[in-house]
Amino acid sequence: MKPESPEVLNAQVSEVGQWLATGLTFALALAAICFVARICIREKIIWPAILTVSGGLAALMEPLFDHLYGLVFPRGGQWHLYTTFGSAQPVWVPAAYVAFYGGASVIIARTIARYPSMRTVWRMYFAVVAMALIAEITYISVLEVYGYPGEHPFKVLGYPMFLAFTNAMSAVVGGIIASRLVPLLRGASQLYLVLLIPSCFAYGLFGGGIIYLSIRTASENPPMWALYLGALTVAGVIAWTIAMLGKHLVEGQPPRDPSLRPHPSAADREFAVAG
């Protein structure tokens, strides 16, 4: 993996694109927050808010993703929060995670609870893949606020397309796990959900991507045929993970109220019988 040149890192970000990206992303995040808040208030539950925060916390892993997968946010004129792993993070990145990973995982968990089938799992997965493709290509090729310089496998309109399948994994796997885990959590134990989306992100992009990343970082100019094969293993591991979790955690489950209220405890059931 060849280090990016100063010219690439310090390139000028599109001023118009930066304004549009910031406004659009924060608008989407606000819409997701309002959607989640409405659910929490109407159904008197808290887990959707915790899952949304979890999605936002996954933004802390973005710099490492950028460094390993070759994403560059141009620094010239960029409004950024901080720089780590050599990647300057724009102000709108956490908002994108709140909307894309936090809000989407809530929708997926509630949909799977209501319609627990493999068809639902795959429909949700490919819907998020399509959403990722549209968003990434828009931000890269239209708004020009970041990019993947150099050669990458399956790169179309500036975006390595295989990454859409991996980016979709965090929200989908997080939603699947939440649909089964939430009913088991009572009170403060629901705070365990706060690390769910970052964990899913790490598994998909770094765990599932270990072969590709090993090839990519083995030398400054790894052969493209090897990168293509490595990229296919990333998508393959994600597909296997989705299928495995869908089969064992979703398929065959009875439909549930999407509020996913905790199962009654033994003490609650005894009290109800006694009453």
What's the chain look like in SS3?
A: CCCCCHHHHCCECCHHHHHHHHHHHHHHHHHHHHHHHHHHHHHCCCHHHHHHHHHHHHHHHHHHHHHHHCCECCCECCCEEEEECCEEEECCHHHHHHHHHHHHHHHHHHHHHHCCCHHHHHHHHHHHHHHHHHHHHHHHHHCCCCECCCCCCCEECCEECHHHHHHHHHHHHHHHHHHHHHHHCCHHHHHHHHHHHHHHHHHHHHHCCHHHHHHHHCCCCCCHHHHHHHHHHHHHHHHHHHHHHHHHHHCCCCCCCCCCCCCCCHHHHHHHHHC
Place of tokens 């989640």: 36
pTM above 0.85, yes or no: yes
Tell me which residue of 136, 122, 92 sits closest to 251, measured CA to CA: 122
What pLDDT score does 166 carry? 87
State the residue for tokens 């539950």: 45
Residue 215 has pLDDT above 90, yes or no: yes
CB atoms within 10 A of CB 204: 25
Nearest-5° angle of CA 229, CA 232, CA 233? 95
Q: What are phi and psi of 255, to 5 degrees?
A: -60, 145
Q: Phi and psi for 155 in degrees, rounded to 5?
A: -85, 120
Mean pLDDT for the stretch of residues 252-273: 68
As a whole number, mean pLDDT of residues 244-256 equals 93
- Tell me, letter by letter, the H, E, C secondary structure of 193-221: HHHHHHHHHHHHHHHCCHHHHHHHHCCCC
One-letter amino acid of 178: A
pLDDT at 266 over 60: no
Q: β-strand 159-160 against 80-84: which pairing, if any?
A: unpaired
Confidence at residue 272, expressed as pLDDT on a 0 to 100 scale:
43
pLDDT for 70-92, tens place per residue? 999 998 989 989 999 989 999 99
Place of tokens 């040149």: 5
